[in-house]
Amino acid sequence: FQRLSDGLSKTRQVVRQSLDRVLGRTPDPAMLEELEAALLTADLGVRVVDRLMTHVREHARGADAANSEALQNVLSRTLYDVLAPVQGASLEQLIEKGPKPFVVLMVGVNGVGKTTTIAKIAQRLVQGGRRPLLVAGDTFRAAAIDQLQVWADRVGVDVIRHRHGADPAAVAFDGIVAAKARAADVVLIDTAGRLHTKSNLMEELRKILRVIGQALPGAPHEILLVLDATVGQNALAQARQFKEVVGVTGLVLTKLDGTARGGIVVAIADELKLPVRLIGVGEAVEDLQDFNQEAFIAALFG
């Protein structure tokens, strides 16, 4: 929890500043407006903030108005209700219950932290006694293949790779064949994320999906969209696009430590009705955490 709490400290600061002015007294309209602005600044999104403020205003009219604990509870409970419908299993639970090999396709635009996240997941799996296999599906950038290899060497797992420029669907196919042959538990497939050729990228992803299904019917078992929390509402736009094209089944929000807008996790989950499987709150392996709504809310309002 400490790492999560540290990671969310910038966002918490924004919220706390105005919350502390309201707590313990009957809030006046100016204070409530300030609180509303702070919640928006934290990027919780207009819809979620409206819901929060409706409950907060109701509370402010009640007999309990000056009770700071009660107000804090109103905020926490409302956020909990927002997140409850999108609470899903963790990636590890999915793997535990799923078929073997369990195939995870990682998608997202360049720079969001896809490769790092794959490495962190692989490391966690290895620590948990599993045998992951990485697939260097971003054949567009030679550096991406090398970067994945460097991480794999560090973690001590194998990478299935083709040369730079090869067909990513062919690499994915080979990856799954290799996983079956080597009895790997989990296949983590990296993909390219260049957005300037958007329609090509989406076409390419569709082909990868098709070919994965041919290599192993029913696969991929999880399509994880990695989003960079520091880009705020832009992440939401990306998410809509990917969701439409590849049918994303879970989200990873990275770099929550680098932003005061960590509320974007809630806004995105609420808008897309997709479970947040993992969040990144720093660069270390331990900083990739399962998303736990209670812990997240506690760290947000702390």
The footprint of ligand GDP (CB under 6 A) covers 108, 110-116, 193, 254-255, 257-258, 280-283, 287
Say if residue 129 carries a ligand binding annotation.
no
Minimum CB separation from ligand GDP for residue 53, in Å? Answer: 30
Question: DSSP alpha helices (H): ranges in 128-278?
Answer: 142-155, 168-181, 198-215, 233-246, 264-272
Q: For residue 227, what are the β-bridge partners?
A: 253
Say if residue 232 carries a ligand binding annotation.
no
Minimum CB separation from ligand GDP for residue 191, in Å? Answer: 10
With respect to ligand GDP, which residue has the nearer C-beta, 177 or 284? 284
Minimum CB separation from ligand GDP for residue 37, in Å? Answer: 26
With respect to ligand GDP, which residue has the nearer C-beta, 75 or 265? 265
Shortest CA distance to 124 belongs to which of 286, 292, 295? 286
Minimum CB separation from ligand GDP for residue 44, in Å? Answer: 19
Spell out the residues 6+ positions from residue 161 whose beta carbon is closer than 8 angstroms to its own.
Answer: 135, 136, 145, 148, 149, 171
Q: Are 22 and 32 in contact (CB under 8 A)?
A: yes
CB-closest chain residue to ligand GDP: 280
With respect to ligand GDP, which residue has the nearer C-beta, 109 or 186? 109
With respect to ligand GDP, which residue has the nearer C-beta, 53 or 152? 152
Distance of CA 154 to the CA centre of its chain: 23
Say if residue 230 carries a ligand binding annotation.
no
Say if residue 257 carries a ligand binding annotation.
yes
With respect to ligand GDP, which residue has the nearer C-beta, 109 or 179? 109
Size of the chain, expressed as the number of residues it contains: 302
Q: Are 260 and 253 in contact (CB under 8 A)?
A: no
Minimum CB separation from ligand GDP for residue 279, in Å? Answer: 8
Q: Are 178 and 134 in contact (CB under 8 A)?
A: no
Per the rule left: phi > 0, alpha: psi between -120 and 50, beta: everything else, 89 is beta
Q: Are 216 and 180 in contact (CB under 8 A)?
A: yes
Say if residue 292 carries a ligand binding annotation.
no
Residues comprising the binding site for GTP?
108-115, 190-194, 254-257
